[in-house]
Structure formats: C-alpha cells, structure tokens
Amino acid sequence: MLNKITPFRYIYAVAVIFTLINAVFFIGSGVAKSIKGYKGFFRSDFLITEGHHPGLHLLEALDAFMISLVFMIFGLGIARLFIFDKTEGKTIPKWLNVNSLEELKVLLWRTILFALVTFSVTDFLKDNTLTWDDLILPLIILILAASLFLVHKRA
C-alpha cells in the first residue's frame, strides 16, 4: 500500500518550487527597499529629519527578508521531509536537518515569531499615534511565545 502512495510525494515538488519562488520575490522586495533606504540616507547626508526616515525602508527590507526566510524554511523543510527523505543529514545544512513535521513546525514557529517581532517594531515606528488596536500584534506575539515555551517545557 505504501509503495502505491510514494509516487505522489513528488506532487509536493510543485508546492516547494512555488514556495521558493515566493522567497526569491520577497528577497527582491527586500533588496529594492534596502536600496531605497540607502538612497534616502545619501540624499539627506545621513541626517534624519521630522518627515524623512530612510531607516524605515531598511526595517521594511528586514521584514521582507524575514518573510522570505519563512518561505525558504517551509519550502526546503517540505522538500527534505517528502522529496529528499533518503538524503543523509551530512549533506544538508544543520539548521535544515529536520526529520519530522514536529521539528519543522518548531523551526517555523521560531522564525515566524522573529518575523512578527520585526514587523511589530516597524509598525510601531511608522505610526506616531498609538491606539489600543496597536496592542493586538504584541499580544499575539506574547501568546505565540508562551505557547512555544509550554511546548518546549512539555518535551
């Protein structure tokens, strides 16, 4: 029965390819935002004024790079688990040596938490007027971090 199912694992290759393409597009977006930030710094002689914040472009670039990292980890992790499952652990990077969906889930969980933190910092720096609605994302980050802590404590 298992031999009849294994050829279908290559359908995951489609998901992996498109996920890695998404990662490349976010890397391109991050590079474009970085260049925009560098240009802003050079135009203003590295002075930050009231209406001019080129560093925000660099933080947005960091957000894009973090999202691309999430896509890469997901795509390469799925490829490792379902397509290249017989590959030895010595031939792939140590951070990608996941052997189960549980390990991939924790790796993605940590990466998404870090991406949310960088996004939250960027969001706070963009908006000068804070409201109660702005506390939703930090609350979500706190809940996710506490959940990750409890998962590790259980294990």
- What tens digit of pLDDT does each residue of 14-28 get? 889 999 999 999 999
Question: Is residue 91 predicted with pLDDT exceeding 80?
Answer: no
Is residue 125 within 8 Å of residue 56, measured between CB atoms?
A: yes
111 or 47, greater pLDDT: 111
User: Among residues of the chain, what percentage have pLDDT more than 70?
Assistant: 85
**What confidence tier does 93 reach under pLDDT thresholds 50, 70, 90?**
confident
pLDDT of residue 2: 46
Residue 74: CA count within 13 A, CB half-sphere:
20
Distance CA 52, CA 33 (A): 15
User: Among residues of the chain, what percentage have pLDDT more than 90?
Assistant: 35
